[in-house]
Structure 1
Amino acid sequence: MNVSQPGLSRSIALLEREVGAKVLERGRQGAQLNAMGTALIFHAEALEAILERAREDTLLRSLGLEGSVKLGVTPITAAGIVPRALEILVKAAPKIHVSVTEGLDSEIAEMLRRGHVDLVVSRIGGGSGYQELAEEELFRSDWGLITRPDHPIARRASVRLSDLRDVRWVLPAGGSAFRQQMERVFASSNLGWPTQSINTNSILAIKAIVMSTDCVSLMARELVGVEVAARRLCIIALKGVENQRPVGVMWRRNETLSPVAARVLEILRRISKDELAVRKRVELPKKGGRSVV
C-alpha cells in the first residue's frame, strides 16, 4: 500500500491517542486487532458503504433518476412479496434504481448491519442478537408437502410426517437456514432425518425434481404459488407441524430510511395487510383434496 512501517506506526499511535485506547495487541506473532480495533473496523466499513452509496446516488441523479434502494432477500421473499412490492414501486416511480441481493438469512442480515443494503426481507425472530437492527413481522408462513399432481399422495387433503416413512425426499443441503428449520420439523415429529433423500442447495432444483419424480419435499406455500397455479405441483397441508418463523422486514434501528426505502417499507406493509384480510375471508379451495390456490 506504499506505506512505510514507521509511517504506519505513527498513524496507529495517533489513532490510539484519538480513541483513548489501544486497538492492537503486539506479541511474538506480530500485531493483532483487539476488541476495540475490531469495533472500529466495523464502523469504518459502514462509513465506506455510506460514502459509496452517496457516490452512487449522485451519479444516478445526474442521469435523471430519483434515487435508489438496495434490498436483501431470501428465496421465500424473492419468490413472493418482494416482486409484488417492486411492481407497485416501479409503476408509481419508474425513475428509481432498485438492487436486489439474495442470500442466506445470516448473510443478508450482516450486509444490512454493514450498510450494504437498506432493507432486508426475510425470516425474522431467529435470535440474531443484532441490537442495532429493528424488525417488523409481515406474515407467517406455513409448511406444506409438495408432490407432482399425479403422485399417489396428491389426492389427500392433509398428511402427517409419520405417514411418510416410505417416501423418497428431496431436501435442502446442509448449512442453510432452510435446512436448519426443516431439521427441527422432523425432530419435533419424533422422526430422524430421512435417509432416502436427494440433497441440493437449490430450491429451483428441489421443485424441478419433485415435478418429474415420485420424490416429495416440504416447502412454504409462498415458494410454490406459481407452480401450484399452473398445476405443475400440489401442496398438501401438514398436520402436527409448527409454522415456520415469521417473515418480516429489517432495517438499521438508529438510521433514518431514505425516502425510497421508506416507500418500499410502506408498500410491504400494505401488501401484507391486504393478504391477511384475504386469508381471513377466503379459505383455499380444494379439488380432490388438493389445494389449487
Structure 2
Amino acid sequence: MTLNQLLYFQTVAKHQHFHKAAEELNISQPSLSRSIATLEEELGIMLFERQGRNVRLTKYGRIFLEHAERILKDVDMATLQMKQLTGDEGHVDIAYVFPLAGHYIPHMVRRFLSQEKNRKVTFSFHQLHTSALIEGLKNEKFDVVFGSYVENEPGIQFVPIIHQEMVIIAPEGHPLTESPLVRLQDLEDYPVIGYDRTSGLGKYTNRLYEIYGMKPNIICESPDEYAISALVEENFGVALVADVETIHERNVEIIKVKDQEIAHTVYMGYLKNHYMIPAVKNFIKFIQKEGTRL
C-alpha cells in the first residue's frame, strides 16, 4: 500500500466516478482502475461497487476511507511542519546551566527574535547541569547547549561565549571583608559552601583547589549560586562562586580575589558535522557574533 493509492482511493470516493477522478489526478483511467484493484486485492475486500457509470463505496470502503483520510491529513500536517522548520519559522531546543537562566539566555533569545527574519522562530528552554546538557545534545534532544567545556567530546563544537570572574562571597561583617588582601587560600580558614561536584562549576572549583594545593572544609554542596548565596547569607559559610546577578541580590559581601586572576568560561556547544535546520544555524551564528558582547 502506498500514499498514492490512498490518495487515488480518496479521490475516487469523492467523485464516485473513475473518469472524473483520473482527470483530477492527471493520470489515465486504466492506471487508476489498476491501482484501486491492486489496493482491493491487497486488503482482501471490495471498496467500491459499480452503479452504471458511477461507483459508490461499500460499507467497508466507508470504514477504510476514514482511515485513509486520517493518514493523508497526518501526512499533510507533517509536510507542512517540515516546510515550516526549513523556512523562516523553525524551532530551536536549547539547554543551559542555571546561572544563565536569570539574564543571559532570556536576553539573547529575545534579541534574536527581535530581528525580523527570526520573529517566527520558537524555542524550548531547559535548565540542567553540564553533564546532562552534553548527554542531551548527543542524543539530539537539544540543538544548542550552554555550559562548561567538557574534554574528550570530539563530536561537539565548543565556542567560548562568556568569561565569568570568580569571587568569594561571605556573610555581612565576616572577617574576610576586613582584610585588604584576600587570597583564594584564605577559604581554608572557614567553612565553605561548594558547588555540586558533578556540575561544571563544581568540577572547575575543585580543580582550582587542587592546583593551589588547597583542602577547603566543604560542609555542603549546592546546585547553583541562588542556593549557595542563600546559605552564605544565613552565615553557614563562605563560597567561591561565579560573579552572576543572583549573588548581587543577596545580603552577602562580594570579595574579589587579589593577585589571582580566576575566571570560569561558559561555552556554547553543538554537534559537529550534523544536519541543522536554518533556524538553528542562524541562532548559532547570532550567538557567535552577538553573544560574546554581553
TM (norm. structure 2) is 0.62
TM-superposed CA distance for 1:244, in Å, is 4.7
Structure 2 counterpart of 1:144: 167
Which contiguous aligned blocks of 4+ residues in structure 1 show a shift greater than 6 angstroms?
A: none
TM-superposed CA distance for 1:220, in Å, is 0.9
Task: Provide the C-alpha distance between the structure 2 equivalents of 1:56 and 1:179, rounded to a whole number of angstroms.
Answer: 45
Q: 1:244 to 1:55 in 2, by over 3 A?
A: farther
Structure 1 counterpart of 2:199: 176
Task: Provide the C-alpha distance between the structure 1 equivalents of 2:178 and 2:281, rounded to a whole number of angstroms.
Answer: 44
Residue 266 (structure 1) aligned with residue 285 (structure 2):
yes
8 A contact 2:193–2:232 mirrored in 1: yes
Counterpart selection for 1:232 from 251, 268, 273: 251
Matches within 5 A, 1:1-16: none
Task: Provide the C-alpha distance between the structure 2 equivalents of 1:56 and 1:216, rounded to a whole number of angstroms.
Answer: 56
8 A contact 1:185–1:241 mirrored in 2: no
Structure 1 counterpart of 2:265: 246
Task: Provide the C-alpha distance between the structure 2 equivalents of 1:130 and 1:162, rounded to a whole number of angstroms.
Answer: 32
The runs of 5 or more residues in structure 1 that have no matched partner are 1-53, 276-293
After superposition, the C-alpha distances for 1:230-260 in whole angstroms (9 at most, x for unaligned) are 4633322224656355322111111243222
Structure 2 counterpart of 1:205: 227
Counterpart selection for 2:158 from 125, 128, 135: 135
Structure 1 counterpart of 2:97: 74
Q: 1:161 to 1:108 in 2, by over 3 A?
A: same
8 A contact 2:168–2:257 mirrored in 1: yes
The CA RMSD over aligned residues, in Å, is 3.2
Counterpart selection for 1:188 from 177, 201, 211: 211
Instruction: Say which one has the larger Rg.
Output: 2
The runs of 5 or more residues in structure 2 that have no matched partner are 1-76
Structure 1 counterpart of 2:138: 113
Task: Supply the AA of the counterpart residue of 1:133.
Answer: I
Structure 2 counterpart of 1:86: 109
Task: Provide the C-alpha distance between the structure 1 equivalents of 2:80 and 2:251, rounded to a whole number of angstroms.
Answer: 42
Q: Percent identity?
A: 18
Matches within 5 A, 1:46-65: 58=81
TM (norm. structure 1) is 0.62
8 A contact 1:78–1:102 mirrored in 2: yes
> In structure 2, the residue corresponding to 1:140 is in which secondary structure?
strand
Q: 1:207 to 1:59 in 2, by over 3 A?
A: farther
TM-superposed CA distance for 1:107, in Å, is 1.8
TM-superposed CA distance for 1:86, in Å, is 1.3
> In structure 2, the residue corresponding to 1:72 is in which secondary structure?
strand
TM-superposed CA distance for 1:134, in Å, is 1.6
Task: Provide the C-alpha distance between the structure 1 equivalents of 2:181 and 2:83, rounded to a whole number of angstroms.
Answer: 51
Q: 1:200 to 1:123 in 2, by over 3 A?
A: closer
8 A contact 1:147–1:214 mirrored in 2: no
After superposition, the C-alpha distances for 1:35-55 in whole angstroms (9 at most, x for unaligned) are xxxxxxxxxxxxxxxxxxx96
Task: Supply the AA of the counterpart residue of 1:220.
Answer: A
Matches within 5 A, 1:24-39: none
Q: 1:199 to 1:132 in 2, by over 3 A?
A: closer
Task: Provide the C-alpha distance between the structure 1 equivalents of 2:123 and 2:238, rounded to a whole number of angstroms.
Answer: 36
Task: Provide the C-alpha distance between the structure 1 equivalents of 2:78 and 2:207, rounded to a whole number of angstroms.
Answer: 44
> In structure 1, the residue corresponding to 2:231 is in which secondary structure?
helix
